[in-house]
Amino acid sequence: MTGQRASSEPFELVGDDDMGVVLVHGFTGTPYEVGYLGDKLAAAGYTVRAPRLPGHGTTLAHLDATTWEDWAEAVERAVDALRVRCRRVAVVGQSLGGLLALHLASHRPDVCAVASLAAPLWLDGLNGRVAHWTRPGGWLSRVTKLPKLSGSDVRDPRTKAENPCYEGIPTRALAQLMAFMKVTDDALPSITQPVLVLHATQDHTAPVACAQRIAERAHAKRVRILPRSYHLIAVDVERDIVAAEVVEFLRTCGDKQCAT
C-alpha cells in the first residue's frame, strides 16, 4: 500500500505541538492499523502518538493474560505523555481502540475530541455466538484460542496480506473485550466532547448498527458510513476518506470546544 507504515511497532510523529492525537489500534492488531492515518495527521501538523496495547504484537498467551483495564491504562499513559508536549489532545481509535477512546473521554475532560472508527458495541451472527460461548461457563471457555478463519477483516488485498496481526483469537481476552463493550456502552452518555463516528456497511466484525447507537448515546457531531470498506477502515480501500474525515473533524474542534 503506497504510503502505509508497515511496522507493527508503536510510533510518535512530531507536529506543531498545539494539538496531539493518540491513535489506538484494535483487538489482536498493532499500530500498523493506524499507521496510514498517523502519517496523514502528521502531514496536517498534528503530533501523533500510537501505543501498542498490552498483549499485542507479542504472543497470544501474553494477550490472553491481559484485561481491558490493562488496555485502558495504556491509553491513559499515552494521553498523559502527549499532554506534556501538546496543549490539547484528541483520541482516535480503530475497533477496540474506538471503544478505548470513547471510554477514556467519558471520564477525562482533558481529552478534547474523540473519533470512533468501527467500534463494536456487540457482535452479531456467528461472531456473537462464538464470543458468548467463550464467556466464563460457556462451552468454549476452556478453549485457549480460536482461529481467524478468513484473516483480517479488510477488503484491500495488500493490507490483508501484510497486516501483522495475530492469526488467532485468545478466548479469555475475547471475553474481556465482550465485557468492555458493555462498560463502554454504559459510559457513552457521559461523553461531552465532540465525537466523530465512522463505520462501514460491509463490516463483518462490528455491525454497522453499532455506529448509530454510539452516535445517539454520545451525541456525535458527525457520522459517516462508508460503502466499500470492511472492518479495518483506517487502512482499507477508503482510507483516504477516513483520513480526510478525521483531519477535518479535528480542525473543526476549535479552542472553545476543545479547551483543556
Q: Read off the CATH number of the domain in which 120 is found.
A: 3.40.50.1820
Q: What is the pLDDT of residue 135?
A: 55
- Indicate if 231 belongs to the active site: yes
Tally the domains of the chain: 1
Task: Give the structural domain span for 110.
Answer: 11-252
Kindly state the average pLDDT of the residues 10-35: 94
Q: What is the pLDDT of residue 143?
A: 46
Rounded Cα gap, residues 131 and 126, in angstroms: 8
In a domain, 4, yes or no: no
Asked whether the CA dihedral 233, 237, 238, 240 is positive or negative, the reply is positive
**pLDDT of 260 strictly over 50:** no
Kindly state the average pLDDT of the residues 137-166: 74
pLDDT band (50, 70, 90) for residue 147 = low
**pLDDT of 242 strictly over 70:** yes
**pLDDT of 141 strictly over 70:** no
Beta bridge partners of 147: 168
172-190 confidence digits (pLDDT tens)? 898 899 999 999 999 999 9
In a domain, 6, yes or no: no
In a domain, 220, yes or no: yes
**pLDDT of 30 strictly over 70:** yes
Q: What is the pLDDT of residue 172?
A: 87
pLDDT band (50, 70, 90) for residue 7 = confident
Active-site residue (options: 95, 106, 116, 152): 95
In a domain, 5, yes or no: no
**pLDDT of 241 strictly over 50:** yes
Least confident span in 41-55, 91-105, 137-151, 243-257: 137-151
Rounded Cα gap, residues 205 and 124, in angstroms: 8
In a domain, 258, yes or no: no
Active-site residue (options: 64, 153, 185, 203): 203
In a domain, 113, yes or no: yes
In a domain, 50, yes or no: yes
Is residue 210 within 8 Å of residue 10, measured between CB atoms?
no
Kindly state the average pLDDT of the residues 104-124: 95
Asked whether the CA dihedral 148, 153, 155, 156 is positive or negative, the reply is negative
Q: What is the pLDDT of residue 126?
A: 44
Kindly state the average pLDDT of the residues 156-170: 91
- Indicate if 203 belongs to the active site: yes
Rounded Cα gap, residues 78 and 94, in angstroms: 16
pLDDT band (50, 70, 90) for residue 72 = very high
Least confident span in 90-104, 112-126, 209-223: 112-126
- CA angle, 87 then 119 then 31, to 5°: 60
- Mean pLDDT, the chain, rounded, equals 89
pLDDT band (50, 70, 90) for residue 211 = very high
Q: Which three cell numbers stand for residue 7?
A: 511496522
Kindly state the average pLDDT of the residues 73-87: 96
Least confident span in 55-59, 147-151, 226-230: 147-151
Rounded Cα gap, residues 18 and 191, in angstroms: 23
Least confident span in 47-56, 123-132, 153-162, 199-208: 123-132
